[in-house]
Structure 1
Amino acid sequence: MVSFEKYIRVVRDDLDDMEHVNNVRYLQWVQDIAKEHWQELASPALRQKYAWVVLSHHIEYKAAALLDDEIRLKTYVERSGGVTSTRIVEMYAKDTSKMIVKAETNWCLLDMESKKPTRIPEEILNIFHH
Structure 2
Amino acid sequence: MQVYEKTLIVQSDDLDELNHVNNIRYIDWVQQISKEHWEKVTTPEIRNELIWVVRKHEVNYFKSAVLHDEIVLRTHIAQNKGPISTRIVEVWDNKANTLLVKASTDWCLLDASTFRPKRVPEHIATLFQ
TM-score bin, normalised by smaller chain: over 0.9
| Cα-to-partner distance string for 1:23-56 (whole Å, 9 max, x where unaligned) | 0000000000000000000111111100110000
Unaligned segments of structure 1, at least 5 residues: none
Quote the offset at 1:20 in angstroms: 0.4
Size of the aligned set, in residue pairs, is 129
What is the root-mean-square deviation of aligned Cα atoms in Å?
0.5
Hey, what's the Cα distance between the residues in 2 that align with 1:86 and 1:103?
A: 10
Quote the offset at 1:77 in angstroms: 0.2
Hey, what's the Cα distance between the residues in 2 that align with 1:43 and 1:123?
A: 12
Q: TM-score, normalised by structure 2?
A: 0.98
Question: Which residues of 2 match residues 34-113 of structure 1 at below 5 A?
Answer: 34-113=34-113
| Cα-to-partner distance string for 1:98-126 (whole Å, 9 max, x where unaligned) | 00000000000000010111111111011
Hey, what's the Cα distance between the residues in 2 that align with 1:55 and 1:89?
A: 15
Hey, what's the Cα distance between the residues in 2 that align with 1:47 and 1:2?
A: 19
**SS of equivalent to 1:116:** coil
Hey, what's the Cα distance between the residues in 1 that align with 2:77 and 2:29?
A: 16
% identical equivalent positions: 45
**SS of equivalent to 2:73:** strand
Hey, what's the Cα distance between the residues in 1 that align with 2:87 and 2:8?
A: 19
| Cα-to-partner distance string for 1:82-108 (whole Å, 9 max, x where unaligned) | 100100000100101100000000000
Hey, what's the Cα distance between the residues in 2 that align with 1:127 and 1:43?
A: 11
Hey, what's the Cα distance between the residues in 1 that align with 2:104 and 2:93?
A: 19
Segments of 4+ in structure 1 off by > 2 A? Answer: none
Q: TM-score, normalised by structure 1?
A: 0.98
**SS of equivalent to 1:24:** helix
